[in-house]
Amino acid sequence: MSFSSDAKAELIRLPLERDCCVLAELSALTQTTGSLGFQGGGRFSVSWQVENAALARRIFRMLKERLGLSPSLHFVQHARLGGRRTCVLTVEGDDAPKLLTALRMMEPDEHGAPVLKRTLPRPQITRQCCRRAYLRGAFLGAGSVTNPDRGYHLEIAARDEGLLELAEKLLAQHDLPARHHLRRGVPVIYLKGGQEIADALALMGASGALMKLENIRITRQMRGAANRASNCDEHNTERQLSAAQQQVEAVKLIAIHRGLFTLPPALRQMAELRLSHPDASLEELGALAEPPIGKSGVNGRMRRLNAAAQEVARELTEAQRPTNANP
Ligand SMILES: [Zn+2]
C-alpha cells in the first residue's frame, strides 16, 4: 500500500464523530464522489461511487446510523478498467428529500415542502470541530499525499470549485496556505513542505501517517545537522537556537524509535525537560533539573542524547536502504 492509501485507511477507521462533524464530512464526500439523479415526477436520488470498499462502508454508516436512512449498496465491475470494482451507494425514495435537506441542497418553500436549490452541497462550516471533519472528507474523496521519501506534496483535486475554495479557507484558518494549479483542466489545491503536511495530517486525524512522516523528517534533519556540526561557530546566536532545535529533534527521534524510558534516569529527565522547554537555555534547563545541575552538566547530558539520536538515525538510514533500492 502507498503512503497515501495507508493515510486514507487510517482516516476511514476513525470513529464517527459528533452529528455536526459527520454532516460536514458527508458533505465533502458528496461534493467529491456523489451525484444527484433525477427520477422524474420531482423525485431524486443521490449516489456515491467509490473504489475503496472501506470508504463505502464509512459513508453507509453515516447515512444509516446518523441520518436514519436506508442506502442501497451494489458493485459495478469495469471490464475496460482491468476489472476494477466500484462500490455504488444510493439513497432514493422518501429518504432522498431528508438527505438533500440535511445537506442543504433542498430547502423548504413557504408551505414547508422541500424544494431543490442546488445540485451539490454547499456546506457552511461554522464550528471549529467540523473543520477537520470537512477536510478529512475532502481528502478521502479527492485527495492524495506523496510518499515523504520522495517529496512533500498533499493535494485535493476536484471539479467542484466550491469544495476547493472552502477547503482552502479552512486550511488557511490553521495557518496552512494552499497553492493552486490546473491539471488537465481539473483545479487542484496543494500543500508543500514537511511541516505543512504534518500539520494537515494531524488536523485530519491521521496520527499514524503523521508519525511515519515525522520519522522521515527527523532522520533528514539529523543528517543535515550532523553535516552542519562539522563546521560550526559556537558564538553565533542563530546557531545556538538551532542547537536547541536540534536537541528537541534528537529527543523526538529517541522517543519515537526507542522510547525515553530506555534512557538512564538522568538523561531521561534532561530529554523530558528539553521537550517541555524547547527555548530554554542550558543554564535554565540545569536549574529545572532535580537536583539542579550546572551548565556543563547539562551540556554533557545533551551530548550523550545527541550521540544516542545519531545512533538511531544511523540505524534508520541502514534500515531504509533496501527499501529505497527497490521502490
Ligand atoms: Zn462538528
Predicted confidence at residue 230, as pLDDT, reads 58
Q: Measured in angstroms, how far is the CA atom of residue 37 from the centroid of ligand 1?
A: 28
Q: Measured in angstroms, how far is the CA atom of residue 131 from the centroid of ligand 1?
A: 7
Q: What is the CA radius of gyration of the chain?
A: 25
Q: Measured in angstroms, how far is the CA atom of residue 97 from the centroid of ligand 1?
A: 22
Predicted confidence at residue 232, as pLDDT, reads 54
Q: Measured in angstroms, how far is the CA atom of residue 191 from the centroid of ligand 1?
A: 24
Q: Measured in angstroms, how far is the CA atom of residue 1 from the centroid of ligand 1?
A: 31
Predicted confidence at residue 81, as pLDDT, reads 63
Q: Measured in angstroms, how far is the CA atom of residue 33 from the centroid of ligand 1?
A: 21
Predicted confidence at residue 315, as pLDDT, reads 78
Predicted confidence at residue 323, as pLDDT, reads 47
Helix (H, G, I), strand (E, B), or coil: what is residue 52? coil
Predicted confidence at residue 12, as pLDDT, reads 97
Q: Measured in angstroms, how far is the CA atom of residue 66 from the centroid of ligand 1?
A: 13
List of domains in the chain = 3-192 (3.10.28.10), 210-325 (no CATH)
Q: Measured in angstroms, how far is the CA atom of residue 54 from the centroid of ligand 1?
A: 22
Give me the residue label for grid cell 525537560. 273
What does residue 255 show for φ and ψ, rounded to 5 degrees? -60, -40
Predicted confidence at residue 235, as pLDDT, reads 45
Q: What is the largest CA-CA distance in the chain?
A: 83
Residues of the chain below pLDDT 50: 233-239, 323-327
Q: Measured in angstroms, how far is the CA atom of residue 294 from the centroid of ligand 1?
A: 49
Instruction: Quote the pTM value.
Output: 0.70
CA 12 to chain CA mean position, Å: 12
Closest of 233, 286, 274 to residue 250, by C-alpha: 274
